[in-house]
Amino acid sequence: MKGIGIDVGSQWLDVGVSDATTCWKFANDSEGIAALLEWLGTQGPVRVVMEATGGYEIDVLAACVAQGVWTCRVNGRQARHFAQGLGLLAKTDRVDARMLACLALAHPRLQQALPQAPWREELRAWTQRRGQVVASLQQHCQQRSRCRVPAVRVLIDATLAQLEHELATLTTHIATLIKPHVTPALRSIKGVGPTFTAALLAQLPELGHLDRKQIAKLVGVAPLNCDSGQRRGQRHIHGGRAGLRSVLYMATLTAIRWEPVIRDCFARLKARGKAGKVALVACMRKLLTILNARRRDELHAVPSTA
């Protein structure tokens, strides 16, 4: 078994092999990816690891998965910490490629990337664009509030009108995309609206397939220990899928008002003296685990024979 590390750039793919000191280079385009797959076919059994690089890795990742190559996409911070653990303080494309090749064999808990349904990939693109538009709207609203030049405010108003029209179009299309895939489990809690549902479907295909601790850690709402010897440090949440966590935060704010289970949980924690943010994060975790359990039961339900 060989470990293959691919350092992905906008134009090039630097490829390192665990048992070699040299690196290979392929173009990050359709022809280069085809050549890479052909080269991988000559290497025997392999484990391929690449970093998440803001979308530049999507094409090569999808091609490797479709070809049946064992492939994993890791967080860049995780890869950098591994390099530091190896004493690799320098950072170049070739160094990163060889480091990722070592990571492919040294880390037994790497998760293989699985093929995604086309509708989920499309939904992820639409939800990502919606998030960009929402952020841009907030930015332009803040700029307008500080602008004192009438002519410039007119220009900002025109941009805001265009962004609002695009947001309405995106929201309508996303609602159409998710309609066939929204199950009773996803509609079972007050506070889980179309925005959060779309985020779950696009960014959390693992929902219902993991246990409550795994799903909480994956999203980044699990309290992580900070202990050493007799010291018991304060627990904090860390890592996870930040974009999904922010949407979960807003859904939980609504659920605290309207969903009895979440509202009672929040009230109990506040009565015990917990800080508001601590209680809110706990409710985020409870909301997520409830949805995960109901989705799991839905997936494992025995079809009716009636």
Residue 305 lies in a domain: no
Does 90 share its domain with 126?
Answer: no
Does 147 share its domain with 199?
Answer: no
Rounded to the nearest integer, the mean pLDDT of the chain is: 91
Residue 306 lies in a domain: no
Of 130, 149, 181, the residue at which a domain comes to its end is 181
Does 146 share its domain with 208?
Answer: no
Q: In the predicted model, is pLDDT for residue 225 greater than 90?
A: no
Q: Quick one: residue 279, left, alpha or beta (phi over 0 = left, psi -120 to 50 = alpha)?
A: alpha
- Cα angle vertex 203, ends 198, 204, to 5°? 100
The residue type found at 96 is D
79 closest CA partner among 62, 102, 111, 59: 102
Q: pLDDT above 70 covers what percent of the chain?
A: 98
Q: Which domain holds residue 52?
A: 2-106
Q: pLDDT above 90 covers what percent of the chain?
A: 73
Per-residue exposure over 1-15, b if at least 16 CB sit within 10 Å of its own CB, e if not: ebbbbbbbeeebbbb
Q: In the predicted model, is pLDDT for residue 48 greater than 90?
A: yes
Residue 112 lies in a domain: no
The pLDDT-based confidence of 304 (bands split at 50, 70, 90) is very low
- Rounded to two decimals, the pTM is 0.83
Residue 217 lies in a domain: yes
pLDDT on residue 303: 57
Between residues 78 and 161, the one the model is more confident about: 161
What CATH number did the domain enclosing 41 receive? 3.30.420.40
Of 131, 157, 181, the residue at which a domain comes to its end is 181
Predicted confidence (pLDDT) per residue in 265-288, tens digit: 999 999 999 999 999 999 999 999
Does 28 share its domain with 60?
Answer: yes
Q: Looking at residues 58-84, what average pLDDT do you find?
A: 91
Number of domains in the chain: 3
Contact 204, 244 (CB under 8 A): yes
Of 161, 181, 201, the residue at which a domain comes to its end is 181
Does 214 share its domain with 290?
Answer: yes
